[in-house]
Structure 1
Amino acid sequence: MLFDIRTIVGALLGSYGVILIITGLAYNTAAEEAKTGGINVNLWSGIGMAAVALAFLVWALLRPVVPSEPPPPAAEDAPTNES
């Protein structure tokens, strides 16, 4: 599961989401809200990214990738016990 692309994408989106949530909560000024029409874009983008990251990680946990088994060897390739 560690090298599943869903885990990697989920971790990346989650880390960016946490950074944006912290930025939205800590550095929300009136000048920045005036630029965006009164919406805290960093906070809402971070929440959205964190939700998508959680969805990716839940998806990877509920539907893990199972490698298929190799086909059995053919009859002519099988070793014989002749002396």
Structure 2
Amino acid sequence: MNRPQPPAGTRLFDVRLVIGGLFTLYGLMITGAGIAASDRDLDKAQGININLWAGLGMLALGLGFLLWLRLRPAVPPSPAERE
């Protein structure tokens, strides 16, 4: 089904874009830190690579928000609905 695309200004200020972008960016950084974790870092966390798991969780959440934005864009009300 073809939905009308909202104006660019509406998409630009959608909070899902900000949240999704930040969580994706931070998720990538923390996942990278988890991949590069040393044995000493793992020993401090009792053998659990918390940076890797937290980064993957943040990455999934951020991508989920961006997917939600892509699949269900915000459509401003029509002029008839505003009145």
TM-score, normalized by the shorter chain, greater than 0.5: yes
1:13 to 23, 39, 45: 23
1:24 to 34, 42, 49: 34
TM-score normalised by the chain length of structure 1: 0.78
TM-score normalised by the chain length of structure 2: 0.78
RMSD between superposed Cα atoms in Å: 1.7
Aligned length, in residue pairs: 72
Matched ranges for 1:44-59 at <5 A: 44-59=53-68
Shift of 1:57: 0.5
- Between the two proteins, what is the percent identity of the paired residues? 44
Give the unaligned 5+ runs of structure 2: 1-10
Structure whose CA Rg is larger: 1
Give the unaligned 5+ runs of structure 1: 73-83
Q: Which has the larger helix fraction?
A: 2
Which amino acid in structure 1 is aligned with residue 42 of structure 2? E
